[in-house]
Amino acid sequence: MNVMSQFDLSGKVAVVTGGNGGLGEAFAHALAEAGAQVAIAARGHARSLEVVKALQDAGHRAMAVEADITQPEAADALLDEVEATLGPVDIFLNNAGACQHAPALDITPECWRDIFDINVHGLWYCAQAAGRRMQSRGGVIINIGSISAMIVNRPQMQPAYNASKAAVHQLTKSLAAEWAPYGIRVNALAPGYVKTSMAPVDDPKFKPHWIDDAPMQRAATPEELGPTIVYMASNASSFMTGSIVVVDGGYTLW
């Protein structure tokens, strides 16, 4: 087969949690441009509808589902809604996430739970629900991890976020090993610093450590990560599962 045809997602149905802004919005556009029908699953339904309209205006088929993935029952409900409109889900992208800068001695129980509810528990509920439905026909699950699972960021302290992303990486490997016999591939993308509202990369307090001290000396744009997501979602990566794909401008080299 032609090499480029392996990246084609025509006929596939993809769900992107947290797909109404930042990285998620860029991922939704990338998957749609590769041919997938895309469902945005997120809180903030008005914003999700704006993203869907942009996708539809570009000629893609897309829909929005209002969902709070921290609630265990939300995953099956959103999958039911997507299947009723677009069909069975082939690609599930666990992108929704949250971060809070706080040193360990200042983290409240509420803060710790909030971070883990979104980054770990919500991802788990969605992965489990998607895995059950993919069990008989295969599929792809992509989790958004972070270089924060591999390093300790500076100058800010964020142990709750770091621990949550480490859990995402290990859960990715565990599910990949368990679900490979069902034809389900599970991988994670670990981005470095990306210029979004979640990462103030130009702030003089952070820039010397986040940007200037890295080999490429710049942040990524969300759109730069889209092609990697397409690769991970497509047949181009058909022999890859349980992998943590680091895209960080060389940050973790030093």
Active site residue 182: no
The tokens of 167 are what? 């859990």
Nearest to 93 by CA among 231, 240, 200: 231
One-letter amino acid at 46 equals A
Q: Is residue 97 within 8 Å of residue 24, measured between CB atoms?
A: no
Which residue in 125, 161, 193, 251 is the catalytic one? 161
> How far apart are alpha carbons 210 and 22 in whole angstroms?
18
User: E strand or H helix at 191, and its extent?
Assistant: strand 184-191
Give one DSSP letter per residue of 53-102, joined into a string: HHHHHTT--EEEEE--TTSTTHHHHHHHHHHHHT-S-SEEEE--------
**C-alpha dihedral over 19, 24, 30, 36, to 10 degrees?**
-40
Q: Could you give the residue numbers annotated as active site?
A: 161
